[in-house]
Homo-oligomer: A and B are copies of this chain.
Amino acid sequence: MLIDRPEKESYTCREVLNKVLLGDALTVLRKLPEESVDMVFMDPPYFLQLPPKELRRWTVRTVVEGVNDDWDQFGSFEEYDEFIKNILLAIRRVMKPNATLWVIATYHSIFRIGKIMQDLGYWILNDVHWVKTNPMPNWLGVRFTNATETLIWAVKDKKAKKYTFNKEFAKEFGIGKIGANVWVLPICSGRERLKGEDGKKLHSTQKPVELLRRVILTSTQEGDTILDPVAGVGTTGYVAQALNRNFIMIEINPKYVKGIEKRFEEPLKLKAISSKDKKKVAEYVTVEE
């Protein structure tokens, strides 16, 4: 069975391998054996601005002179930080000593996440920048078009050395010929995008298969175990399976889990990025004369 709802106190690796565990990330993570996974990919919820009324004031406010009282968003920042910190701690426990962790987010939250990671002892190896060829057309002329998401790639500890890095793939994916930390690829759309029964997109931030293909190929070996504690519609496991890696996915929303189940009925056949798509990418990033 692909789907499982963990009831026991703790699980062996074998019991949860290649399963989607229905439940809260933190609760389920704590049931997994320690030092058991080779790589973790996390796509945490984005930080959403709540209406000011629901927010508390930030206690550190008193540090600053001459500041008006509208610093209300910090109450929710604190809650967000707490959530991130706890899940990063729980992840750290299940990572093998030389496992690596990927986290993806936008500027709304990536800075908070990165600092928390460093404070917990994670050692950042790279930031990788996903440049979207077809970002949301949010051009109001008041900001730069936000065409990027940032991935942080890290090890548990500064001392971790023998992590997996397949540089041939890194060179293939990064722009230029030097394996740079910049990936240019389109967002998930078209047939790849999962739809609900209402015909609308099932998940608001479904990650493209190609993104996970790159993550997995550069940082794991065949047979490795990949964990995604906030699986959403399960792109991580879906691509992992196609690349002969094992996966453990955790997702709390039954709607998404149902989506994963349906998705897995038709296993992914991976093909390299089409030359047509490559051409599009090339056109996109080319600077005009």
Interface size class of A (residues with CB under 8 A): 35 or more
CA gap between A127 and B288 in the complex, in Å: 23
CA gap between A108 and B158 in the complex, in Å: 13
At the interface with chain B, which of A5-13, A133-141, A251-259? Answer: A133-141
Q: Is A107 an interface residue (CB 8 A)?
A: yes
CA gap between A143 and B144 in the complex, in Å: 29
CA gap between A20 and B54 in the complex, in Å: 46
Q: Is A191 an interface residue (CB 8 A)?
A: no
- Looking at the assembled complex, report how far the CB atom of A8 sits from the nearest CB atom of chain B, in whole angstroms: 21
Q: Is A270 an interface residue (CB 8 A)?
A: no
Quick check: B175 and A285 within 8 Å, CB to CB? Answer: yes
Quick check: A182 and B148 within 8 Å, CB to CB? Answer: yes
Q: Is A188 an interface residue (CB 8 A)?
A: no
Q: Is A282 an interface residue (CB 8 A)?
A: yes
Quick check: A180 and B145 within 8 Å, CB to CB? Answer: yes
Q: Is A53 an interface residue (CB 8 A)?
A: no
Selected contact of A184 from candidates B146, B179, B287, CB within 8 Å = B287
CA gap between A126 and B107 in the complex, in Å: 7
CA gap between A276 and B150 in the complex, in Å: 30
Quick check: A176 and B282 within 8 Å, CB to CB? Answer: no
- Known contacts A113-B111, A286-B286, A289-B278, A77 near B119 by CB under 8 Å: yes
At the interface with chain B, which of A63-71, A195-203, A239-247, A260-268? Answer: A63-71
- Looking at the assembled complex, report how far the CB atom of A52 sits from the nearest CB atom of chain B, in whole angstroms: 10
Q: Which residues of B lie under 8 Å from residue A150 when comparing CB positions?
A: 127, 150
Quick check: B124 and A181 within 8 Å, CB to CB? Answer: no
Q: Which residues of B lie under 8 Å from residue A129 when comparing CB positions?
A: 129, 131, 148, 182
Other A-B pairs beyond A107-B114, A111-B113, A144-B180, 11, CB < 8 Å: A73-B158, A107-B124, A110-B111, A111-B114, A129-B148, A135-B180, A138-B179, A142-B165, A144-B153, A147-B174, A147-B178
What are 16 A-B residue pairs whose CB atoms fall within 8 Å in the complex? A107-B114, A111-B124, A114-B114, A125-B143, A129-B148, A131-B180, A135-B178, A138-B178, A141-B167, A144-B170, A145-B174, A148-B180, A175-B285, A177-B288, A184-B285, A286-B286
